[in-house]
Amino acid sequence: MRELVVLGTASQVPTRTRNHNGYLLLWDGRGLLFDPGEGTQRQMIHAGVSATQVHRICLTHVHGDHCYGLPGVLSRMALDGVTHPVHLHYPASGEDVVRALVAVASPGVDLHLHPHGAAGEVAPGVEVRPLHHRIETYGYRLVEPDGRTLLPERLAAAGVTGPDVGRLQREGRLGEVRLEEVSVPRRGQRFAFVMDTAPCPGAEELAEGADVLVAESTFADEDADLARDYRHLTAGQAGALAASGGVRTLLLTHFSSRYTDLEPLREQAAARAGEADVVVARDLDRVPMPRRRTTTAR
Ligand SMILES: [Zn+2]
């Protein structure tokens, strides 16, 4: 199962209906917790997810709305007796803040710290790119390698059955039968997470080909001056980012408390989002990864 559990959608100031940031991506039995702001532990209870589901924690930067929930979540993991290793990723310049947050958490979690200071792969299938905010910030993406989907009728016609199917997949060839003859290309799924940033090349690289792009849209288009001054995206800029990357689903979040009605932001993003479906994230939403892009047999 692959889905995103939205734990909070507020930027700097939470509101009655929007908790500070927090997103749990459930990906094939693994849980990646992005940017746990204040109150994340309690939001997880409301969302019906547990701290034991978290394997990796990814911080974009160390502003409070993206990390003040860390001690609570770590303490809860210790209380719940989590035994698996937990990996924590963050920008290297945030080391002091991260260590302070970890220091006040209950001990007992097998926690591994992974600071990063450049674009690249930080864990298998997990990449970072620098963003452009007021302090060092990185966005993340998950990239599943492209693969092939087997076609049962062609396998049957070629007489490949049982354990031979696995052998053919691993080795690419079984006697006279080549894998390409009994399968079609399958594009790997991509999930991108772009938080606090002005428009920048790193954000564009992360968005490229994403099935789901989670993007901050702190401000409405009419507040573009504020977005520029504080290095954030407007809703329209988030839409343009999705269009440039050929994104399928754009999930808007990290809203300023000044907006109660978010429909205008959705419309502003949609106006520039090209083919992307634009969705306003609400606290406790569950957003499934869309079905794979279909590839037809030839
Ligand atoms: Zn923020």
- Tens of pLDDT, residue by residue over 39-92, are 999 999 999 999 999 999 999 999 999 999 999 999 999 999 999 999 999 999
pLDDT of residue 290: 87
Q: State whether the Cα torsion 62-54-146-287 is positive or negative.
A: negative
Q: How far is the CA of 90 from the centre of ligand 1 (A)?
A: 15
Instruction: Check pLDDT > 50 for residue 226.
Output: yes
pLDDT tier at 298 (50, 70, 90 boundaries)? very low
Q: How far is the CA of 103 from the centre of ligand 1 (A)?
A: 23
Q: What is the rounded CA–CA span in Å between residue 181 and residue 158?
A: 9
pLDDT digit string, tens, across residues 193-225: 999 999 999 999 999 999 999 999 999 999 999
Please choose, from the candidates 206, 28, 63, the residue with its C-alpha nearest in 3D space to the C-alpha of residue 122.
206
pLDDT tier at 295 (50, 70, 90 boundaries)? low
pLDDT of residue 294: 60
Residue 4: CA count within 13 A, CB half-sphere: 27
Q: State whether the Cα torsion 238-240-243-244 is positive or negative.
A: negative
Instruction: Check pLDDT > 90 for residue 242.
Output: yes
pLDDT digit string, tens, across residues 94-146: 999 999 999 999 999 999 999 999 999 999 999 999 999 999 999 999 999 98
pLDDT of residue 291: 82
Q: How far is the CA of 280 from the centre of ligand 1 (A)?
A: 17
Q: How far is the CA of 60 from the centre of ligand 1 (A)?
A: 9
User: What's the whole-number average pLDDT of the chain?
Assistant: 95
For the ranges 136-140, 147-151, 244-248, which has the lowest average pLDDT?
A: 147-151
Active-site pick, 65, 221, 223, 283 = 65
Instruction: Check pLDDT > 90 for residue 14.
Output: yes
Whole-prediction pTM: 0.92
Give Dmax (Cα) for the chain. 66
Q: Which two tokens stand for residue 61?
A: 């930067």
Q: How far is the CA of 12 from the centre of ligand 1 (A)?
A: 6
Q: Is 65 a catalytic residue?
A: yes
Q: At what angle do helices 235-245 and 263-272 cross, to 10 degrees?
A: 40
